[in-house]
Amino acid sequence: MSFHLALYSASIASAAANVQLAAVADPVFAPAASGLLVNGLWPNVMRVCGVGNLLNRAQLNSASIRDFTPFDLNPVNVGTAIESPGRYLDFSGAPIPLKVNEELDVFVTNSAATATQTTVGIWFSDSPPMPVKGRVFSVHWTITATFAAAGFTAFTPIFDSGLPSGTFALVGSRLKSVSGLFHRFIPRGGAPNRPGTTSCQAYDDHPEMFDRYGAMGEWMRFTSTTPPQIEAFQLAADAAAEGFLDLIQVA
């Protein structure tokens, strides 16, 4: 199983139902108007997570989804952070199949006319996740950088302690920053998908609790000399971040 995290995000000022969110530029899923074209390698929706200060509900829409009806989604995370645990719709047991190269659009409904940034994360997968077991350990990292507001910023994490020589499977992740919402990983070589999860804003937040220690399967592999980059999506221009990688040594 492999998966990819893509985002839709915009400042929404209208209180009307079904205001369309623009897709965030993505290296794997090609753009189509304000949406994304479904990639044949990851054609299923495995999870959806919406967050916004005035968000009421979200909706998925595509040609194949309309064979039934536009898919309305609730609960959502109301506020400027993803709640703990995160409010999302999880279809991991039976991911929603889409048609390859059809346009997938996201719409939202807000509760007032005040402009507010609203973001919806979609996890695309090739199949249901397969949890993995093994000798898991976590490593702490930090970074000081200038992060983009409401956009992805890529960086290389700085580990507190060096990794032992070998190859590692990434099986979970946690990222904390002042206004963090989502993060994902950029592999060096191999498949182009960028697996990821939610981010937190305080040490006692745990929105990604279901994604740790192998519960979502193996995300990717890397060697001690080629650690992956991380892309973080913050609500504001944060100046620093820290987090943990959950790893299993496989070679």
Domains 3-125 and 136-249 share a fold: yes
CATH code of the domain occupying 3-125: 2.60.120
- Mean pLDDT, all residues of the chain: 95
Per-residue confidence at 210, pLDDT binned at 50, 70, 90? confident
Q: Please compute the mean of the pLDDT values over residues 218-245 and round it to a whole number.
A: 96
User: Which one-letter amino acid corresponds to residue 57?
Assistant: R
Question: By percentage, how much of the chain surpasses pLDDT 90?
Answer: 90
Q: Please compute the mean of the pLDDT values over residues 91-114 and round it to a whole number.
A: 94
Q: CA angle 47-49-50, nearest 5°? A: 150
Q: What is the pLDDT of residues 58-98, one digit of tens each?
A: 999 999 999 999 999 999 999 999 999 999 999 999 999 99
Give me the pLDDT at residue 13, please. 81
CATH 2.60.120 fits 136-249, yes or no: yes
Per-residue confidence at 201, pLDDT binned at 50, 70, 90? very high
Q: What is the pLDDT of residues 12-56, one digit of tens each?
A: 887 778 899 999 999 999 999 999 999 999 999 999 999 999 999
Whole-angstrom distance between the N-terminal and C-terminal Cα of the chain? 20
Among 250, 219, 196, 203, which Cα is nearest to 7's?
196
Give me the pLDDT at residue 104, please. 98
Q: Please compute the mean of the pLDDT values over residues 236-251 and round it to a whole number.
A: 97
What's the pTM?
0.96
Give me the pLDDT at residue 103, please. 98
Q: What is the pLDDT of residues 174-193, one digit of tens each?
A: 999 999 999 999 998 878 99
User: What are the residue ranges spanned by the domains of the chain?
Assistant: 3-125, 136-249
Q: Please compute the mean of the pLDDT values over residues 204-214 and round it to a whole number.
A: 91
Question: By percentage, how much of the chain surpasses pLDDT 70?
Answer: 100
Give me the pLDDT at residue 95, please. 97
Burial degree of 88 (CB within 10 A; 0-12, 13-18, 19+): buried
Q: Which residues of 32-54 are buried (b: 16+ CB within 10 A; e: fewer)?
A: eeebbbbbebbbbbbbbbbbbbb
